[in-house]
Structure 1
Amino acid sequence: MTNILDLVGRIFISLVFLLSGINKIGNYEGTIGWMESLGMPGIFLIPAIILEIGAPILIMIGYKVKISAALLSLFCIATAIIFHTDFSNQMQFVSFMKNIALAGGFLFLVINETKEFSLERKLGK
């Protein structure tokens, strides 16, 4: 049961970012406009998309999980600080806290080994 829950947990926490990265591709110009309206250069969208698609896939398959989870944890903290600090807006506060909570979840992946349903285990690490 632990192996299944580990896999399901990795999939659940990763899906948010995988779908977000795909959505950013589909709404590329709109996302750049939103980022730039908040003072963030649009060129940063490309690495964000790569991270939001690549790292979740690696976490889901269980390969380079610690590195991928650490990067996504830092990404969550950075995006919370850059994009979600207007606490006069309740939704901004909720988004800030969601990002911090996700960062914490990724830190659990950093400190814990993947279980049996992972590519790292199959390859013998």
Structure 2
Amino acid sequence: MLITGLVLAAVAVLVHVYIFYMESIAWTTQKARSVFGTTPEEAVSTKELAFNQGFYNLFLGVVAAFGIVLTTTGQATAGLALVYAGTGSMAAAATVLFLSSPDKRSAAVKQGLVPLLAVVLLLVAQTV
């Protein structure tokens, strides 16, 4: 269960790094606009906000990734604390999005389900 939980955490990290790329680097491109459903004008006017939001996603991924490294190199207490902090925050943010924006529920599930599963599996692994 521990390995599966860490693999799911790593997948969540990759998803959040991709979100960082889309929001902070590619925000005004056709691809990002089609993913997020924005017009060229909306993309330009929200570019600064998206840039900041992308880094938020990147930092959550970095925290979880560093936790995975620590856990797999024998520092499980600190490592798992960081994995929980990163993936738990990812799942919590997705829950807020799910509850506050019904039109974005699909996106919330896509970005929140894997980190939530990681948290659950890691908790099960620690209690068994």
Query: TM-score band, normalised by the shorter chain?
Result: 0.5 to 0.7
1:49 corresponds to = 58
Q: Distance in 1 between matches of 2:64 and 2:52?
A: 19
Which of these residues, 5, 10, 35, is aligned with residue 14 of structure 1? Answer: 10
Higher helix share: 2
Does the CA-based 8 Å contact 1:77-1:99 persist in structure 2?
no
* 2-structure distance, mates of 1:31, 1:110: 36
| 1:90-125 superposed Cα distances (whole Å, 9 cap, x missing partner) | xx323334555445324322574399xxxxxxxxxx
Provide the residue aligned with 2:40 in structure 1. none
Aligned-partner Cα distance in 2 for 1:105–1:97: 11
Greater RCO (CA < 8 Å, at least 6 residues apart)? 2
Gaps of 5+ in 1: 116-125
SS at 2:126 equivalent: coil
Question: For the structure 1 residues 74 and 20, does the alpha-carbon distance in structure 2 shift closer, same or farther, using more than 3 Å as the test?
Answer: closer
1:81 matched to 2:100? The reply is no
Q: Which amino acid aligns with 1:72?
A: T
Structure 2: 5+ residue stretches without partners:
37-42
The offset of 1:21, in angstroms, is 0.8
Structure 1 length normalisation: TM-score?
Answer: 0.52
CA RMSD across the alignment: 4.2
1:62-101 equivalences under 5 Å are: 62=71, 63=76, 64-82=79-97, 85-87=100-102, 89=103, 92-101=104-113
Aligned length: 108
User: Bigger shift: 26-35 or 95-104?
Assistant: 26-35
Q: Distance in 2 between matches of 1:22 and 1:97?
A: 16
